[in-house]
Amino acid sequence: MANSVPGAGQVSGGIRTAPGGIRTAPGGILRLADDLVISRMGFGAMQLSGPGVFGPPRDRDQALAVLREAVDRGVTHIDTSDFYGPVTVNELIREALHPYPADLRIVTKVGARRGEDGSWRSSLEPGDLKAQVRENLAHLGVDALDAVNLRLRAEGAGRESIAEPFGALAELQKEGLVRHLGLSEASDAQLTEAQAIAPVVTVQNLYNLATRRDDALVDRCAAEGIAYAAYFPLGGFTPLQSATLDRVAARLGASPPQVALAWLLRRSPTMVLIPGTSSVAHLRENIAAAGLVLPPEAVAELDTIGR
């Protein structure tokens, strides 16, 4: 079943009312459904937990401040999961932002559990997926989740059938516990399989200036009005390093990470970004990248990276 939501995938400059006046949402907005309108520059909450995405943050007050600053600066899209911490990050989001602003949309993920040693364990059995959804509901303090991504097994490399686990989430959608569905670590074939079960509003995969295996999928998502959420937009645990990127950034008077984020926003009209940080200063730098205009010659130079 293809995306059939009226107005799905529409991009706009977008405005958001805030105390003191009206501000533009960073990166503009992406309308995926009447009840799912998000800022293209989002915030990935993973780094608010402790080292290795495990345990509490080093500075709890700073973590709460980052979340509040993101919303104050017009971000209406937060990416999270109960397996960040685990639980820690969702509890921080609830403490910092609940009751949630009317325009805030929280996208979460299910499909994994954490071991006591911090290990990541795939968990796609339908019964446990339903339990994970209910745990996210409880820890975020909501009656329904705005969107849930099914996190697939990395070792499956996009080949395994996802009908059973995705079908379990579709059942919860029919029950009203989940409003919209998405995929994480998905292949083109798995997206097609999922769409035969229920509409898919977002795909969340690894993609950045230097890692561009998903070029075709990025274009497909744009054509079908599906958000492509690039995780690790700055390289993740191995930050982007490129002499070309450094050279372009110096010429534009911006930082290399800002240029890399601006390139992603320009790459596709349905691209959304979820850079993460535990620093208010770093958050502000990331959000400022949404206003950076890349001249054609800079884009052409950056396009050579990762090819």
Q: What residues are labeled active site?
A: 84
Q: What are the backbone dihedrals phi and psi of residue 77, each rounded to the nearest 5 degrees, phi first?
A: -140, 110
Which DSSP category does 293 fall into? P
Taking the C-alpha atoms of residue 231 and residue 273, their distance in angstroms, rounded to an integer, is: 7
Q: What are the backbone dihedrals phi and psi of residue 301, each rounded to the nearest 5 degrees, phi first?
A: -70, -45
Which DSSP category does 41 fall into? B
DSSP, collapsed to helix, strand or coil, labels residue 101 as: coil
Number of residues in the chain? 307
**17 Cβ contact partners less than 8 Å away, ≥ 6 residues apart:** none
**116 Cβ contact partners less than 8 Å away, ≥ 6 residues apart:** none
